[in-house]
Amino acid sequence: MPKVCLIAGDGVGQEVIPAAARALGVACADLSFAEAEAGWGCFLRHGSALPESTRTAVATADATMFGATQSPSTVVGGYSSPILSLRRDFDLFANLRPSEGSTADGRRIDLLIVRENTEGLYSGREHREGDTAIAERVITRRASERIARVAFQEARRRALRRSTDSGSALLRPRCTIVHKANVLKLTDGLFRESCLRIAAEFSDVDCEEMLVDTTAMWLAKDPSRFDVIVTTNLFGDILSDLAAGLCGGLGIAPSANIGAGLAAVFEPVHGSAPEIAGRGIANPIGAILSAAMLLDHLQRTPAADRVRQAVRVALASETRTPDLGGASSTAEVTELICAQLG
* Contacts with ligand NAI, residue ranges (CB under 6 A): 12, 16, 68-71, 83, 250-251, 267, 270-276, 282-283, 286, 321, 323
Give me the residue whose beta carbon is nearest to Mg ion: 237
Whether 228 and 177 have beta carbons less than 8 Å apart is answered as no
Q: Of 157 and 312, which CB lies nearer to ligand NAI in the complex structure?
A: 312
Q: Is 241 a catalytic residue?
A: yes
Task: Quote the least distance from Cβ 17 to ligand NAI, whole Å.
Answer: 11
Interacting partner of 237 out of Mg ion, ligand NAI, none (Cβ under 5 to 8 A depending on kind): Mg ion
CA 114, 116, 118 angle in degrees (round to 5)? 150
User: Is the alpha carbon torsion for 72, 75, 76, 78 positive or negative?
Assistant: positive
Residue 180 annotated in active site: yes
Closest CA to 187 of 137, 144, 233: 137
Among 10, 37, 237, 296, binds Mg ion (CB under 5 A): 237
Minimum distance between the CB of residue 131 and Mg ion, rounded to whole angstroms? 28
Set 91, 110, 241, 305: catalytic member: 241
Q: Does 267 participate in binding Mg ion (rule CB under 5 A)?
A: no
Task: Indicate if 206 belongs to the active site.
Answer: no
Q: Which option in Mg ion, ligand NAI, none does residue 323 bind, with CB closer than 5 to 8 A by kind?
A: ligand NAI
79 flagged as catalytic:
no
Q: Can you tell me whether residue 258 is helix, strand or coil?
A: strand
88 Cβ contact list (under 8 Å, min separation 6): 118
Using DSSP's 3-state secondary structure scheme, residue 23 falls into helix
Judged by CB under 5 A, the chain residues 273 through 292 that form the site for Mg ion are none
Instruction: Give the nearest distance from C-beta 153 to ligand NAI in angstroms.
Output: 25
**Residue 155's binding partner out of ligand NAI, Mg ion, none, with CB under 5 to 8 Å set by partner kind:** none
The set of residues, in sequence order, having a beta carbon less than 8 Å from that of 249 and lying 6+ positions away, is 323, 324
Compute the C-alpha angle 21/23/26, nearest 5°.
110
Separation between Cα atoms, residue 325 and residue 318, nearest integer Å: 9
List interacting residues with Mg ion (CB under 5 A): 237
Q: Hey, which residues are catalytic here?
A: 122, 180, 213, 237, 241
